[in-house]
Structure 1
Amino acid sequence: MPREVAERMTNRTLLRGGWVVTMAPGSAPFRGDVLIEDDVIAAVGVLGAVADAEVVDARDRIVLPGLVDTHRHLWQSSLRGIAVDWTLGQYFARMRGRLGGLFAPEDTYAATLLGAVEALDAGITTVVDWSHNINGPEHADAAWQALLDAGGRAVFAYGASNAQALGDRSPHTGDVRRLREGVGSDDTARVTLGMAVRGPEFSTPELAEADWGLARALGLPVTVHVGGGLRGAGRHVADLARRGLLGPDTTYVHATMLADDELDAIAAAGGRASVSPEVEANMGHGYPATMRLRARGIPTGLSADVCTSVGGDLFGGMRVALALARGAAHASALAAGEALAEVPLPAVDVLAMATIESARAIGLDDRTGSLEPGKQADVLLLRTDTPSLAPVSDPVGAVVLASGVREVDGVLVAGRWVKREGRFVHRDLSAVLDRATRSRDRLLDAVRDEPWCPPAAVSSRAR
Structure 2
Amino acid sequence: MKTKTLLTGGTVVSMDPAVGDLVRGDVLIEDGVIVEVAERVDAPDAEVIDAADRIVMPGFVDNHRHSWQTAFRGAGADWTFPEWALAMHRTVKPHYRPEDVYAGTLLGRLEALHSGVTTMLDWYHVAQGHEHEDAAVAALRDAPGRSIFCLGAGWGTPDPVDADVRRVRSDLAGDGLSGDGLVTMALGLRGSEATGMDTVARELKLAAELGLRTSLHVDGDGASGGDGTRHPIADLHEHGLLRDTTTFVHGNGISDEELRMLADAGSSLSVSPDVELKMGFGWPMTGRALAAGLRPTLSIDDVPSAGGDMFSTMRTAFAVQRGLDGGLRSRDLLEFTTVEAARSCGLDARTGSISPGKDADIILLRTDDLTVFPVTDPVATVVSAGHPGLVDTVLVAGRVVKRDGVLVGVDLPALRTRLLESRDRIAAAAGVPLDGTWRPRPVSD
The two structures have a TM-score, normalised by structure 2, of 0.93
* Deviates further, 320-329 or 174-183: 174-183
TM-aligned CA deviation for residue 386 of structure 1: 1.2
TM-aligned CA deviation for residue 209 of structure 1: 2.1
2:36 maps to what in 1? 43
Q: Is the 8 A contact 1:201 1:231 kept in 2?
A: no
Matched-pair identity in %: 46
Question: Partners of 1:171 and 1:237 in 2: how far apart?
Answer: 23
Q: Is the 8 A contact 1:33 1:44 kept in 2?
A: yes
Question: Partners of 2:121 and 2:41 in 1: how far apart?
Answer: 37
Question: Partners of 1:202 and 1:77 in 2: how far apart?
Answer: 26
The alignment status of 1:344 with 2:327, answered yes or no, reads yes
Q: Is the 8 A contact 1:417 1:426 kept in 2?
A: no
Question: Partners of 1:443 and 1:187 in 2: how far apart?
Answer: 37
2:97 maps to what in 1? 104
Question: Partners of 1:365 and 1:294 in 2: how far apart?
Answer: 20
Within the candidate set 366, 383, 391, 1:400 is matched to 383
* Deviates further, 263-272 or 44-53: 44-53
Q: Is the 8 A contact 1:388 1:402 kept in 2?
A: yes
Question: Partners of 1:357 and 1:455 in 2: how far apart?
Answer: 40
Question: Partners of 2:345 and 2:29 in 1: how far apart?
Answer: 24
Question: Partners of 1:205 and 1:231 in 2: how far apart?
Answer: 23
Question: Partners of 1:457 and 1:49 in 2: how far apart?
Answer: 59
SS at match of 2:248: strand
Q: Is the 8 A contact 1:171 1:211 kept in 2?
A: no
The alignment status of 1:363 with 2:346, answered yes or no, reads yes
Within the candidate set 404, 410, 416, 1:427 is matched to 410
Q: Is the 8 A contact 2:172 2:183 kept in 1?
A: no
Within the candidate set 293, 309, 322, 1:326 is matched to 322
Residues 12-91 of structure 1: pairs in structure 2 closer than 5 A? 12-25=4-17, 27-91=20-84
1:146 maps to what in 2? 139
1:447 maps to what in 2? 430
Within the candidate set 252, 255, 258, 1:256 is matched to 252
RMSD, aligned CA = 1.7
SS at match of 2:430: coil
Q: Deviations over 1:118-152 (max 9, x none)?
A: 00000000000001112111111111110010110
TM-aligned CA deviation for residue 202 of structure 1: 3.2
Letter in 1 for 2:377: D
Within the candidate set 196, 201, 207, 1:204 is matched to 196
Question: Partners of 2:127 and 2:170 in 1: how far apart?
Answer: 18
Question: Partners of 1:15 and 1:279 in 2: how far apart?
Answer: 36
Question: Partners of 1:196 and 1:269 in 2: how far apart?
Answer: 19
Within the candidate set 295, 305, 310, 1:309 is matched to 305
The alignment status of 1:247 with 2:243, answered yes or no, reads yes
TM-aligned CA deviation for residue 187 of structure 1: 2.3
Q: Is the 8 A contact 2:28 2:41 kept in 1?
A: no
Question: Partners of 2:195 and 2:286 in 1: how far apart?
Answer: 26
Q: Is the 8 A contact 1:171 1:210 kept in 2?
A: no
1:379 maps to what in 2? 362
Structure 1: which 5+ runs fail to align? 1-8, 330-342, 459-463
TM-aligned CA deviation for residue 428 of structure 1: 1.2
2:168 maps to what in 1? 179
TM-aligned CA deviation for residue 361 of structure 1: 1.8
* Deviates further, 304-313 or 209-218: 209-218
SS at match of 1:316: helix
Q: Is the 8 A contact 2:157 2:194 kept in 1?
A: no
Q: Is the 8 A contact 1:224 1:251 kept in 2?
A: yes
TM-aligned CA deviation for residue 181 of structure 1: 2.2
The alignment status of 1:230 with 2:243, answered yes or no, reads no
SS at match of 1:85: coil
Question: Partners of 1:36 and 1:135 in 2: how far apart?
Answer: 42
The two structures have a TM-score, normalised by structure 1, of 0.90
Q: Is the 8 A contact 2:22 2:39 kept in 1?
A: no
Moved over 6 A (4+): none
SS at match of 1:262: helix
Within the candidate set 190, 194, 205, 1:213 is matched to 205
Question: Partners of 2:225 and 2:241 in 1: how far apart?
Answer: 20
Q: Is the 8 A contact 1:280 1:286 kept in 2?
A: yes
Q: Deviations over 1:411-444 (max 9, x none)?
A: 0001111110011113211122111111101111
Residues 264-279 of structure 1: pairs in structure 2 closer than 5 A? 264-279=260-275
